[in-house]
Structure 1
Amino acid sequence: MTQMLPGMDGEYEPAPEGPEEEPPPTPQERQARAAVTRIADPGDRLVDSWLRELGPVETVRALTAGEELPGAGVRRTAGYALRARRAQPERDLAAARAMGARFVCPGDPDWPRQLDDLGGERPYGLWVRGGASLRMWALRSVSVVGARACTDYGSHMAASLGADLAEAGWVTVSGAAYGIDGAAHRGALSATGATVGVVASGVDVPYPPGHAELIGRIAEQGLLIGELPPGSHPTRSRFVLRNRVIAALTRGTVVVEAQYRSGSLITARRARKLGRFVMGVPGPCTSALSQGVHELLRADGVLVTGAAEVIEHVGRIGEDLAPERRGPVLPRDLLPPAAARVLEALPGQGGAGVAELAVAAGGAPDETLTRLHELHALGFVERDGPRWKLTPGGESAPTTGGRSQADTLSR
């Protein structure tokens, strides 16, 4: 189900730097780039340089023929050639179409140009499963990442972020893994919102297997994207490489629970290098799962506790501001300064005379008596012969019509 997101009129798209936008790929170039996803590991700077200088079609032809291209030695060339001769891009593209997926290349209208910020580590193309526009969704997106073995607190915070971001019209991006990733996706889905799963496998290979149902829901209600062709399985290095796409695709990254060596901190560091916003949700100082987040915050991360604060950083400057948070306003907070001083002068137990209170409040006896009568009318104090004392529960005052009498006096 394609989600319609408010405010997606292009104002969030980063201004491209360097050369003008690439022309749309020809069918032959698309097929060649699909082949490259079989030939080279994601983020191979050498292959990227060939794609830019020689073009996709000539690059694949040279690799298949075993020609030694600039920068590649004999052994590396042989490895590329072995993979190139086994590549069947027509079959991969057909398999993608059969599952309702597509292959998006640089130059396509749906290509998110912020991925170009990765330079030589830019994806050769992205296999995309789902009907929504990847480029449009990426314009208002935030990545929420964190520990796989998270606590109930971390799961709750991630789910809340996903749901609240969705209700505000933002897309939640994560890696579809156990823990924080899954909680963030579920939060967005529960609010019938938009979410993008960036996987380290083929978009037809549910990983982890325990998230097969969740990944299916992401593909149906949101988008599932990956750099690897259909049928590919993840490896440890591919998870690390996947993090750079999450960091570059979104306007900011929020880390919810992470140990010192957590992979989510890799995403945060990449986001920082790319000039994206880096945020962290604090946790208990005694929790090892929050140590990495706290270190991130000590460096130059921004502390956030909810979606409104996240949006304040990634949204429109001066407009998407989080509401100011403060404690409740008590009726006595609304008293004029003179009346407040007299109220503060009253002892907590027993009472005091007017002269004694005038000295304590720093005013004349007549003025002090006037204030005492005002406080009496508001229900803060009562008279006991010549002495004045606080009424039981005198920290508060009666209210009328939704406005406290103290508020009326302050006006």
Structure 2
Amino acid sequence: MTITSTITRHLTTPPAALTGQNLSPDAIARAMWTIVGEPGDTQAGELIAAVGAADALTLLCQGEDTAPGVDLTSLRERVLPRVVDSAIVAALSAAARVGAVLITPEHPHWPAGFADLGAHPHALWARGNTALLVAQPSIAVVGARAATGYGEHVCMDIVGGLVGRGHTIVSGAAYGIDGMAHRAALASDGQTVAYLAGGVDRFYPTGHDALLTRIVTDGVVASEMGCGAAPTKWRFLMRNRLIAAGSNATLVVEAGWRSGSLNVAGHAATLGRPLGAVPGPVTSPTSAGCHRLIKEFGAHIITDAIDAAAL
């Protein structure tokens, strides 16, 4: 089967795995983009904005090298090798198997904050209560994977207080502070959102399989990657922009000087979202990143849930 016929077949005949979701042609095309594209691809985003998701795929299969304001040559080199019928069918079938729902910009549960992203996701795959993706107010709580007892204790206390004030807790399900943020929200009978860097059918990290399974039941797990996609360093960095954009504010509880959670903070600052950081012992390397945010980025000093809610 040729690339052109693969695209045409999926666009004109909705894949069986998506027939129950009553999706528009644009939504079906966006589902395919989550499989054949990479997050944060500016050229793909510009092309979709110019001609629509379906026509963007069609243009890539044709011979022209240009589209309205977009050079298709490099984009075609990145995308077309991934347009494999068996891979597309496998990803969509995996989504149907785990009950993943496709959320597009036309869906009522599409986070409004994504509009602030230059290259926003084409779509989200979500499992759980998708209404939580737009729940207000929401706050991202992130931090070091190698969290200390101090960091976990402070995280638990602050998240419990935020949940009691009606906040939805957003994080990335990583080890350390992220995992504690989700657990504390669930333990307080609160709402939590976990954004993943890979497909929602393959939980990562694997050590948080039970935690993510519970979030699917009592919260929502979402990703801009199609099912079957493995997390990569780039996808983690792009996932971080969703955590920042999908929240009203961002709180870094504990972070080393080069912690990945500082990337979330950077996105929040770029987007103009309020940013907070919990101070720690000046001798603790796991608080050096928080102190850096306070000194260099003007992050608000957060010591309790009252401070965090004030963000």
- TM-score bracket for this pair, using the shorter chain length: 0.7 to 0.9
1:96 shift after superposition = 2.3
Structure 1 regions of 5+ residues with no counterpart? 1-24, 314-411
What is the aligned partner in structure 2 of residue 118 from structure 1?
A: 117
Counterpart CA distance in 1 for 2:217 and 2:66 is: 42
SS of the residue 2:117 aligns to? helix
Residue deviations 1:314-340 (CA, integer Å, cap 9, x gap): xxxxxxxxxxxxxxxxxxxxxxxxxxx
SS of the residue 2:83 aligns to? helix
1:284 shift after superposition = 0.2
Structure 2 counterpart of 1:193, one-letter code: G
SS of the residue 1:291 aligns to? helix
Residue deviations 1:135-177 (CA, integer Å, cap 9, x gap): 432x311000010001000111112222221121111100000
What is the aligned partner in structure 1 of residue 242 from structure 2?
A: 245
1:68 aligns with 2:65: yes
Moved more, 93-102 or 189-198: 93-102
What is the aligned counterpart of 1:298 among 295, 298, 306? 295
Structure 2 counterpart of 1:116, one-letter code: A
Residue deviations 1:193-251 (CA, integer Å, cap 9, x gap): 10000110111111011110001111110010101111111011111111111111101
What is the aligned partner in structure 2 of residue 197 from structure 1?
A: 194
1:75 shift after superposition = 5.0
1:1-150 equivalences in 2 (<5 Å):
27-65=24-62, 67-70=64-67, 71-72=70-71, 74=73, 76-86=75-85, 89=88, 92-119=91-118, 121-137=119-135, 139-150=136-147
With over 3 angstroms needed to count, the CA separation of the structure-2 counterparts of 1:113 and 1:153, relative to structure 1, is same
With over 3 angstroms needed to count, the CA separation of the structure-2 counterparts of 1:27 and 1:95, relative to structure 1, is farther
Counterpart CA distance in 2 for 1:136 and 1:41 is: 24
What is the aligned partner in structure 1 of residue 307 from structure 2?
A: 309
1:261 aligns with 2:267: no
How many pairs are equivalent?
A: 287
Q: Is the 8 A contact 1:31 1:89 kept in 2?
A: no
1:64 shift after superposition = 3.6
Counterpart CA distance in 2 for 1:190 and 1:183 is: 10
Q: Is the 8 A contact 1:67 1:77 kept in 2?
A: no
Counterpart CA distance in 2 for 1:229 and 1:264 is: 24
Counterpart CA distance in 2 for 1:69 and 1:90 is: 29
SS of the residue 2:228 aligns to? coil
With over 3 angstroms needed to count, the CA separation of the structure-2 counterparts of 1:66 and 1:175, relative to structure 1, is farther
Structure 1 counterpart of 2:28, one-letter code: Q
- Identity value in percent: 39
Q: Is the 8 A contact 1:42 1:227 kept in 2?
A: yes
With over 3 angstroms needed to count, the CA separation of the structure-2 counterparts of 1:33 and 1:181, relative to structure 1, is same
Using the size of structure 1 for normalisation, the TM-score is 0.67
Residue deviations 1:336-375 (CA, integer Å, cap 9, x gap): xxxxxxxxxxxxxxxxxxxxxxxxxxxxxxxxxxxxxxxx
Counterpart CA distance in 2 for 1:94 and 1:110 is: 23
SS of the residue 1:225 aligns to? strand
Q: Is the 8 A contact 2:132 2:168 kept in 1?
A: no
1:87 shift after superposition = 7.0
Structure 2 regions of 5+ residues with no counterpart? 1-21
SS of the residue 1:133 aligns to? helix
Counterpart CA distance in 1 for 2:108 and 2:90 is: 24
What is the aligned partner in structure 1 of residue 278 from structure 2?
A: 281
Counterpart CA distance in 1 for 2:122 and 2:141 is: 24
Q: Is the 8 A contact 1:93 1:102 kept in 2?
A: no
Residue deviations 1:63-119 (CA, integer Å, cap 9, x gap): 244653444464542331111244765654443233222010012111111111002
Moved more, 62-71 or 299-308: 62-71
With over 3 angstroms needed to count, the CA separation of the structure-2 counterparts of 1:74 and 1:47, relative to structure 1, is closer
What is the aligned partner in structure 1 of residue 9 from structure 2?
A: none
Using the size of structure 2 for normalisation, the TM-score is 0.87
Q: Is the 8 A contact 1:39 1:87 kept in 2?
A: no
Counterpart CA distance in 2 for 1:251 and 1:75 is: 35
What is the aligned partner in structure 2 of residue 386 from structure 1?
A: none
Q: Is the 8 A contact 1:64 1:80 kept in 2?
A: no
Structure 2 counterpart of 1:271, one-letter code: A
Counterpart CA distance in 2 for 1:248 and 1:266 is: 12
With over 3 angstroms needed to count, the CA separation of the structure-2 counterparts of 1:46 and 1:87, relative to structure 1, is farther
Q: Which has the higher contact order (CA 8 A, sep 6+)?
A: 2
SS of the residue 1:183 aligns to? helix
